Amino acid sequence: MSWVNAVIQGIMTGGYYALFACGLSLLFGVMGIINLAHGDLAVIAGYVAVLLVPETHLPVVWSFLVVVPIFAIGGYVLQRTLLQASLDRDPFTTLLVTFGLSVVAENALLEAFSSNGQSLNIGSLIAYSFNPTSTISLSYLSLVVLGVAVVVLGALQLFLSRTSTGRLVRAVADDTEAAQLVGVNYRHIFGIAAAIAFATVALAGIANGMYTEFAPTTGPANLLFAFESVVIGGIGSLWGTLVGGIVLGVAQQIGAQINPAYQVLAGHVVFLAVLAVRPRGLFGLRTAP
Amino acid sequence: MAPLLELVHVKKRFGQVTIAEDVSFAVEPGAAVGIVGPNGAGKTTLFGVVSGDVRPDAGDVLLDGRVVSRLDPAARCRLGIGRTYQVPRPFDKMTVFENVLLAAQQGARARGPESYAHALAALDSTGLAPDANRLAGSLGLLARKRLELARALATQPRLLLLDEVAGGLTDLEVGELVSVVREANERGVAVIWIEHVVRALLATVDRLLCLAGGEVIGDGDPREVLASPRVREVYLGTDAAVGESVT
């Protein structure tokens, strides 16, 4: 039964990975930006929550109500200024700029908060769980995060396919020049996409802070898992990102079941296996772009 | 009254290659102007200068007497400049209707029922209405060219820039597209049309510009322009279609 439990825990970890990775996928899919600061953004969201919770007297679990809007606005502004300016040069510049942002963020956080770990204390909620059998334990927190991930991805999918703004996002992602030619202000649409991406990474950062400790330097390690989720699932597919996150999560938990030292390694092995067999990911387009 | 479009001493070079040396011309509202010229004469680049994709090294573009040289393509589209690409570039993963609706909502700033009306009118006039719910990526070349035209028309342009609409099509297909363009022109849309298929052009335009070596070497009545010695010299042996229609 412990194997079953490993798979179930993996699925729930996968929900978190997907929540974390969908913003990365969106930035790449729409603007072609590979955001190397994505992991650091999640860490910053954790620190923002740590700072704001005492000020606003909100319960920690509701801190996202404040952090997510701040991140959405921040994402829009950053896209319209620094990221757009680097996109105007060439794609390679965005890679350097986001790498630079990552370094700056880490060092600024170290300066402001020291290297000690922090976490978002949700008290006894962390321990609440549901035990259908003696060997399977479902943590409420993990279930909620998985639920949030599914809802966020579903809402994002509906937004893209059913709304006129979502249609504009698809248009600029497909052909920015042609979109401009029919009157689309693509910079504004890029800003909206960045706002959404930042909002989702804020949610992921808060979830992460509730699960575990974070420190100024934990961003890049998280970024790796987000990358793996996106690539396993297939670039450009939101549901693919969810499946990618779950495949990665399950692989890690099964690896840990074999030997606790194999947790991260097992994830990397599955990632490489998927790359070897289906280079475009499980749900990626099979035809050349 | 100021002309609809005016190019004033436009100059553009890519490295050592001169695309436009000193190009000036004006187009009146509702006019139908054709542009011919040998390959590499800078015709498409000139469209880029008008639509805002290409920034000229010198000179200005005026719309309604107002300088628009510093506006981006989206802003110029909203002011009434519609353009088609030589190789159609529809949004492949959207339906035909979504493609056109998006153009109506963005280019013409139309909302709600008005945007649907613009979109449907554009589909009707290009004969695409039966394909409205197909994915644009699944269309054949003729339908893609029609969609390119429909999308430009949905933005409610006052000036339509057509880049080799007829290329790669059969005579019958060309005839259909020509009638769509003429219809738009009769409704008052000014048309500037780059075309190698001169027969299609002569059926529509009442003025012809010939570009060569970055200069306007002919401008006026289409048949007179094609018969002028300078234009014939540029074309001789390079484009049989023109040779035929001149003789």
CB pairs under 8 A between A and B: 68
pLDDT, residue A149, reads 95
> pLDDT averaged over chain A?
92
Interface of B with A in 34-53 (CB under 8 A): 51-53
Distance, in Å, from the CA atom of A76 to the CA atom of B78, rounded to the nearest integer, reads 24
Out of A23-27, A223-227, B172-176, pick the least confident. B172-176
Q: Where does the pLDDT of residue A283 fall: very low under 50, low under 70, confident under 90, or very high at 90 and above?
A: confident
Residue A44 lies in a domain: yes
Number of Cβ atoms within 10 Å of the Cβ of A279: 11
pLDDT, residue B246, reads 42
The pair phi, psi for residue B7, each rounded to 5°, is -105, 130
Does B94 touch chain A if contact means CB atoms closer than 8 Å?
yes
> Left, alpha or beta for A11 (phi > 0: left; psi -120 to 50: alpha)?
alpha
How far A162 CA lies from chain B's nearest CA (Å)? 11
Give yes or no for a contact between B174 and B184, defined as CB atoms under 8 angstroms apart.
no
Q: Where does the pLDDT of residue A1 fall: very low under 50, low under 70, confident under 90, or very high at 90 and above?
A: low
Tell me the pLDDT tens digit for each residue of B230-241: 888 887 545 444
Distance, in Å, from the CA atom of A37 to the CA atom of A76, rounded to the nearest integer, reads 15
* Residue from B54, B131, B52, B62 nearest B98 by CA: B131
Does A89 touch chain B if contact means CB atoms closer than 8 Å?
no
Q: Is the pLDDT of residue A289 over 80?
A: no
Tell me the pLDDT tens digit for each residue of A101-146: 999 999 999 999 998 888 888 877 777 888 888 888 888 999 999 9
How far A40 CA lies from chain B's nearest CA (Å)? 33
pLDDT, residue A103, reads 96
Out of A55-69, A243-257, B51-65, B88-102, pick the least confident. A55-69
Chain B partners within 8 Å of A174 (Cβ): 91-94
Chain A partners within 8 Å of B85 (Cβ): 178, 181
Does B21 touch chain A if contact means CB atoms closer than 8 Å?
no
**Element containing residue B10 per DSSP (H, E):** strand B5-14
Residue A119 lies in a domain: yes
**Cβ neighbours of residue A278 closer than 8 Å, sequence gap 6 or more:** A234, A284
pLDDT, residue B236, reads 59
The domain of A30 spans 19-216
Distance, in Å, from the CA atom of A229 to the CA atom of A282, rounded to the nearest integer, reads 11
- Domain B1-27+42-71 carries which CATH code? 3.40.50.300
How far B70 CA lies from chain A's nearest CA (Å)? 15
Chain A partners within 8 Å of B75 (Cβ): 185
* Domain B72-161 architecture: 3-Layer(aba) Sandwich (3.40)
pLDDT, residue B243, reads 43
pLDDT, residue B131, reads 96
Mapping DSSP to helix (H, G, I), strand (E, B) and coil, where does residue B194 land? strand
Residue A194 lies in a domain: yes
Q: Where does the pLDDT of residue A238 fall: very low under 50, low under 70, confident under 90, or very high at 90 and above?
A: confident
Beta bridge partners of B63: B5, B66
Say how many domains are in chain A: 1
Q: Where does the pLDDT of residue A287 fall: very low under 50, low under 70, confident under 90, or very high at 90 and above?
A: very low
Distance, in Å, from the CA atom of A76 to the CA atom of B84, rounded to the nearest integer, reads 31
pLDDT, residue B240, reads 45
Q: Torsion angle of alpha carbons A159, A164, A170, A176, nearest 10°?
A: -150
pLDDT, residue A285, reads 60
Residue A116 lies in a domain: yes
Report ipTM for this prediction. Answer: 0.87
pLDDT, residue B21, reads 86
Residue numbers in chain B where pLDDT is lower than 50: 237, 239-247
Number of Cβ atoms within 10 Å of the Cβ of A81: 11
- The domain spans of chain B are 1-27+42-71, 72-161, 201-210+225-247
